[in-house]
Structure 1
Amino acid sequence: MKHYYETNELAEDLRRKWGIDNYTPIDIFSIIGEKINNLTLIFLPLESEISGCCSKNDKDLLILINSNHSKGRQNFTLAHELYHLKFEENEKWLVCSDEKYNDSEKEADNFASSLLMPKCALKEYIEKNNIEKWSLENILKCEQFFQISHISMLCRLRKEKYISYDEFKRYRHNIKREATKLGFSTELYEPSIKSKKYFSLGTYIPLTEKAFNNNKISIGKKEELLLDVFRSDIVYNLNEDDFIEE
């Protein structure tokens, strides 16, 4: 198993290759869409214990993300699955769930935490904000800044020995209420909206368009392929305003 410092180094090195310093928060979905070729993301409402899945072959990469999980957790899951795809030799379907927490999953978690919030970035944040003891308010502000899930934030602080196990347990609850009281949006703690519960992004979509434009497939086949990955908005030329949220 790779040590924590090794996965941290892999994450920081990847940020450097992407041209991102180790102190700046990142929009992980936008960055990966730009930096990783041949990647398709599919969002599905999965069982609660499953965070995501991934698969790869010689040409294509695929990540499934649980749209029932919060935005913060989806950010973490994407970074986690990226580790499996980039740094492991697994070419079969890999399902990441709470029930299968092995060394590979620990490494992917450590990598994801470091990619979203590098060790030096956390240290700088502490210094800039004069944090001597982590209150729940400090924790919420920090996770909002780095767009990392609440439980991942707590796990990281616990790993770095900034909080005790008792504090870890005490700070886990009533997060949306506390975030609201502090004036934060609760989007980080909410699952995908109804119109994005079944959704997709990435390479599959422009490849389908390219095949149609090159007369490789018919309009009917193009629409079928797009509907297969839940992009009825493209098929029916819908805008976000056309979706009614309950």
Structure 2
Amino acid sequence: MANTLETKAKIRASEIRDKLGFSKEPVANIFSLIESLGILLTKKPIYDSNISAYFIHYKNNYLFFINSAHTLGRQHFSAAHELYHYYYDKNLNGTICDTFKFKNQRNESETLADYFAVHFLMPEDGIYKFFNLVGEDIDINKIIKAQNYFKVSFKAMLVRLKVLGLIDKSEYDRYSTIHLNSTFARLGYTRELIRPTEETYIPQSYLEILYENYDKNQITERAYKEYLSDVGLSIEDLKIEEEVEDLAEETSFDY
């Protein structure tokens, strides 16, 4: 069953990669890609939670939320996972996702989305092309180089290489136990992908759309508050921001 789902997800990932013009190359910036599709992207750290991401679909509007308490590599995987829902789950109004669980997921769609993320971010042909260029004698340096090239988590890259047979179980187990921070520093790699970003990002367009609908009585105040809550905000937060802006205008000087 799992192999059947992975094959289906692999075909779909290849279709979307071709549609977006990636071929065998890595996705340069998945967050920019998401926004270029007209999807509202939000990020906020949620600690002590299994939530990796979620998406909301209302009429023709889509919103992705990414938990920035996770490492950047994990966030990229979660974003690719949500892209599966965007392209292939048009019937869903929304779902909360705990990514990178595969067959342990609670339903088929979530499993497909995880496998899609693997093949979308780390296409088989792209992996082989990369290691043909840097040399097939794989060591920790080349694994980290590959991880940075494909912009995924270290664990995701290790699992991918093991599944493709490029490293064996003993190598996988050995590399799984290394201390990432010190190894990355020793080899001169940035640690950006293996650290949480903990950023809060809410596009202005999202707040504008919400307020416009609320101001025109197209959504209730309760719904307005709920949508704000989805991205970790409240009406009180927005009032504070307005007061700060008003104060800045009052204290500005014209020369």
Q: Shorter-chain TM-score category?
A: 0.7 to 0.9
- Using the alignment, how far apart are the partners of 1:115 and 1:202 within structure 2? 29
Report the 3-state secondary structure (helix = DSSP H, G, I; strand = E; otherwise coil) of the residue aligned with 2:42.
strand
Shift of 1:75: 0.6
Give the aligned partner of residue 119 of structure 2. Answer: 114
| Structure whose residues are more often helix by fraction | 2
Give the aligned partner of residue 240 of structure 1. Answer: none
Give me the TM-score of the superposition, normalised by structure 2.
0.74
CA gap 1:162/1:105 in 2 versus in 1, 3 angstroms: farther
Once superposed, what is the RMSD of the aligned Cα atoms?
3.1
Contact 2:44 2:69 in 1 (8 A): no
- Using the alignment, how far apart are the partners of 2:96 and 2:118 within structure 1? 20
- Using the alignment, how far apart are the partners of 1:24 and 1:107 within structure 2? 20
CA gap 1:202/1:112 in 2 versus in 1, 3 angstroms: farther
- Using the alignment, how far apart are the partners of 1:179 and 1:166 within structure 2? 21
Give the aligned partner of residue 160 of structure 2. Answer: 156
- Using the alignment, how far apart are the partners of 2:203 and 2:123 within structure 1? 26
Give the aligned partner of residue 60 of structure 1. Answer: 61
* Structure 1 residue runs without a partner (length 5+): 238-246
Sequence identity, in percent?
A: 26
- Using the alignment, how far apart are the partners of 2:241 and 2:18 within structure 1? 35
Give the aligned partner of residue 209 of structure 2. Answer: 207
Give the aligned partner of residue 136 of structure 1. Answer: 140
Shift of 1:206: 5.1
Give the aligned partner of residue 179 of structure 2. Answer: 174
- Using the alignment, how far apart are the partners of 1:38 and 1:61 within structure 2? 5
Shift of 1:157: 1.0
One-letter identity of the residue aligned with 1:53:
Y
Q: Kindly provide the CA deviation profile for residues 158-192 of structure 1, in whole angstroms up to 9, marking residues without a partner as x.
A: 11121222222221231121111111111111111
Give the aligned partner of residue 96 of structure 2. Answer: 94
CA gap 1:118/1:205 in 2 versus in 1, 3 angstroms: farther
Shift of 1:152: 0.8
CA gap 1:227/1:60 in 2 versus in 1, 3 angstroms: closer
One-letter identity of the residue aligned with 1:32:
I
- Using the alignment, how far apart are the partners of 1:227 and 1:94 within structure 2? 17
Give the aligned partner of residue 81 of structure 1. Answer: 82
CA gap 1:206/1:12 in 2 versus in 1, 3 angstroms: farther
Contact 1:16 1:22 in 2 (8 A): no
Shift of 1:92: 4.0
Contact 1:41 1:62 in 2 (8 A): yes
